[in-house]
Structure 1
Amino acid sequence: MNGSEGEGGEEATGSGHDAFGEEQRETLRRARRLEWITLAWMSATVALVALVAGQSQAMRAAWAEDMLSLLPPIAFLVAARRIRKRPDRLHPYGFHRSIGVAHLVAAIALLTMGGYLAIDSVMTLVTVERPPIGLTVLFGHAIWSGWLMVAVMAVTSIGPVFLGYKKLALSETLHDKVLFADADMSKADWSTAVATIAGVIGVGLGLWWADATAALLVSVSILHDGVKNLRSSIGGLTDAEARTFDDSAPHPLTRRIEERAKEESWVGEASARVRDEGHVFHAEVFVVPAAGTEPTLDRIAALRDRIEELDWKVHDVVIAPVPELPPAQTFRSTLRTGPTAPPSVE
């Protein structure tokens, strides 16, 4: 195992922060700064949108989404702090999974609020509720409140889009799915702003249904984010196959670990079982010794070290010499390499 001596002389896998190289540490510092900026910006946005929302359902939906946008940064900052804790007797694998828990909390909140807003918007359309958007006196002049709503949505959507693209690159470096979910939501914030602006202007043009329709579009966006992140977070917490930071494909490190193991002269067959612990991976590598070779402790330790050198994310490695690969691992290897020719039947 990739271990460092913990307190009391116990072998430990180290904290999540221990796994980081200098590049990852600097990236984490930048990510923290961006998340604090995001919290400040979104807090101001929530206050401004609440101030001008009035009875517009689209504005209320946008306000709810802005409130939910506070959750991923908070979850990221809390998780980033918890992963610094070292393993103990109750948590022998460390606190890496704090990232996965934070991801799950954010996903459930998105799903719940998206569902509520969708139902509320549909009920408004069914009952034909007409949102009153009246006049507001500003600096001694009476203006249509809708223009204030449009201005606030246009201005407040700029920050999240910019911050989202900045955080997107950092999420790949850190292999952080919470940061990626936050970045993905933020960079798509312009769509919420456009839908809300269209709904408000539609009401001004006499289209009473435009406001509730815009709110429904916003709620569908929230639901989409919630479902996508819920699927991803549950997969990670239930030890599904390790995938890339954006969940687009199985992580290539699994294949690289197997290839590295097979490079050893004493290894006949090898298959890896890799799970995503948050920022880092835990890998169990099953190896079948080649005929006539002996898997000595020195050979096993050397293989473990060579696998750990592949990538900083390979943080905890177990080498398991076995007489034959477990059935599930044989099946996975077949899926990756393609089916072999069936045995001949005499």
Structure 2
Amino acid sequence: MQEVLDTRRRAGQKVSIIGALVNSLLSLLKIIVGYLAGSAALVADGFHSLSDVVTDFMVVFLLGISHKQADDNHPWGHGRFETLGTLVLAIILMAVAGLMAYDSLKLLFSGEIPPPPGALALAVAALSIIANEGLFFYTLKVGKEINSNLIIANAWHHRSDSLSSIVVLIAIAGAMLGIWWLDALAAVLVALLIGKIGLDLLLRSLSELVDTGLPPERVHELTETALSVDGVLDVHNFKSRSMGGQTLLEMHLQVAEHLSASEAHFIGDATSRRLRERFDEISHIIYHIDTYDDQEMPALDQPSFPARPEITQHLDAVLSRMLGELPDYELMIYYSPRRIDLDIQFNAEIWPLLSQQSLAAQVLEKGLHEELKGLNWFGRISCWLPAQGHHPLPD
């Protein structure tokens, strides 16, 4: 699992560093040219690109933390740092949007008519569109490959730059044609667009931080995969949550009533393996084995069942009365909602005891059933005897 996390981290850091370098050049170019050409929209777009540089390096830093191995202080891993990074990224986007909108509105209502921007501003806006679209598709591809919400959010940050540059391009062209207010108005529209993207990322991060479950269609895929494992009769009490691009699951697996604990555990492990093979974003699976659907069994219907010592005490007393002395045996206890079933495995010494009491094996099992049936928890009992050897079964 750690190898997968390291691969995700390296891929995410690489694309983020490339984005930081490209945005550094674009931000300087747009701010300088926008200032010299008198384009408020281009200057605002330049500061937007500068915010991308900050977030790109923040992403690099947070990926290094979020993909570290679990430790004593973070037993579930460090994936929440990635969610926290997405949250911070969203807040930065919304803050940038607010500042851009304020400055542009102030310019729009100042009454001053700025000189029209030149052709160089138009060329820089076009270059920004091309560069940011390239970054968007590249970053989004990597984000989906490594299933990182933080990288996907950063990709949309690049797309917001691209869209804002398109609006800026139109605004500059309009201003060059004499529509001076179009430049400032475009800057306000860009700010609203960036704010909307920031709000979406903020809500998505908060949803993850409060442990919102996976979408119903995803839950259906996961439960169907679990049900496809031999031995799994039902899946219930299914819980899911996301943490930094990883999925954590908890579920109850219902198996046959009289399976041994080791076989039931084997089925549970097989279910975990199949889920991880099909869904590689799963980092943790906790399963609970049930021999019945505990969702369908109201607590008030469950009697107060005895534990092994009390059950053994009842059996010892009955066997001693029936056989004259207590034989060695192994006891399997099967709890179900309304009864307890018992399997008794005797060793070879049972045969002389049966002979002494002139009891047949079937009579022993029937006698035990009659003695125990008055107990409110008793369901049924089965006796298992070894090969008879030199001790013939009495008639």
TM-score by length of 1: 0.74
What is residue 203 of structure 2 aligned with on the other side? 231
CA displacement 1:91-148 (0-9 Å, x = unmatched)? 1111122211111110010011112322333343334343345xxxxxxxxxxx5222
Cα drift, residue 173 of structure 1: 1.3
After superposing the two structures, state which structure 1 stretch, 278-287 or 222-231, moved more. 278-287
Matches of 2:101 and 2:203 in 1, distance apart? 20
Larger radius of gyration: 2
Cα drift, residue 149 of structure 1: 1.4
Unaligned 5+ runs, structure 1: 1-13, 134-144, 244-249, 328-346
The alignment partner of 1:309 has SS state of helix
User: What is the identity, as a one-letter code, of the residue corresponding to 2:242?
Assistant: D
What is residue 159 of structure 1 aligned with on the other side? 131
Matches of 2:10 and 2:44 in 1, distance apart? 33
Change (3 A) 1:272 1:291: same
The counterpart of 2:119, out of the listed 129, 138, 147, is 147
What is residue 81 of structure 1 aligned with on the other side? 64
Matches of 1:203 and 1:310 in 2, distance apart? 55
Matched-pair contact (CA < 8 Å) for 1:287–1:325? no
Unaligned 5+ runs, structure 2: 298-395
1:183 aligns with 2:155: yes
Q: How does 1:56-71 map to 2 (within 5 A)?
A: 56-71=39-54
Change (3 A) 1:205 1:256: closer
Matched-pair contact (CA < 8 Å) for 2:160–2:193? no
After superposing the two structures, state which structure 1 stretch, 214-223 or 146-155, moved more. 146-155
Matches of 1:31 and 1:297 in 2, distance apart? 37
1:268 aligns with 2:234: yes
Matched-pair contact (CA < 8 Å) for 1:19–1:312? no
After superposing the two structures, state which structure 1 stretch, 261-270 or 52-61, moved more. 261-270
TM-score by length of 2: 0.66
Matches of 1:326 and 1:164 in 2, distance apart? 49
User: What is the identity, as a one-letter code, of the residue corresponding to 2:17?
Assistant: W
Q: How does 1:1-346 map to 2 (within 5 A)?
A: 17-20=2-5, 25=7, 29-54=10-35, 55-133=38-116, 146-187=118-159, 189-242=161-214, 252=218, 254-263=219-228, 264-289=230-255, 291=257, 296-321=264-289, 323-325=293-295
User: What is the identity, as a one-letter code, of the residue corresponding to 2:16?
Assistant: E
Matches of 1:325 and 1:109 in 2, distance apart? 45
The alignment partner of 2:118 has SS state of helix
Cα drift, residue 86 of structure 1: 1.9
The number of equivalent residue pairs is 290
Matched-pair contact (CA < 8 Å) for 1:202–1:211? yes
Matches of 2:206 and 2:120 in 1, distance apart? 41
Matches of 1:170 and 1:105 in 2, distance apart? 21
User: What is the identity, as a one-letter code, of the residue corresponding to 1:35?
Assistant: S
Cα drift, residue 30 of structure 1: 4.3
User: What is the identity, as a one-letter code, of the residue corresponding to 2:279?
Assistant: D
User: What is the identity, as a one-letter code, of the residue corresponding to 2:81?
Assistant: S
Matches of 2:44 and 2:175 in 1, distance apart? 15
Matched-pair contact (CA < 8 Å) for 1:108–1:230? yes
What is residue 315 of structure 2 aligned with on the other side? none
Matched-pair contact (CA < 8 Å) for 1:268–1:290? no
CA RMSD of aligned residues (A): 2.7
Matches of 1:326 and 1:49 in 2, distance apart? 65
Cα drift, residue 31 of structure 1: 4.1
After superposing the two structures, state which structure 1 stretch, 106-115 or 151-160, moved more. 151-160
Matches of 2:114 and 2:257 in 1, distance apart? 78
Change (3 A) 1:251 1:51: farther
Matched-pair contact (CA < 8 Å) for 1:288–1:325? no
What is residue 346 of structure 2 aligned with on the other side? none
Cα drift, residue 326 of structure 1: 9.6
Query: % of aligned pairs identical?
Result: 22
The alignment partner of 1:124 has SS state of helix
CA displacement 1:35-77 (0-9 Å, x = unmatched)? 2221111111111112122243212221121112224422321
User: What is the identity, as a one-letter code, of the residue corresponding to 1:101?
Assistant: L
CA displacement 1:14-45 (0-9 Å, x = unmatched)? 6xx4444xxx82x6544433322211111111
Change (3 A) 1:202 1:306: closer
Bigger relative contact order, structure 1 or 2 (CA pairs below 8 A, ≥6 apart): 1
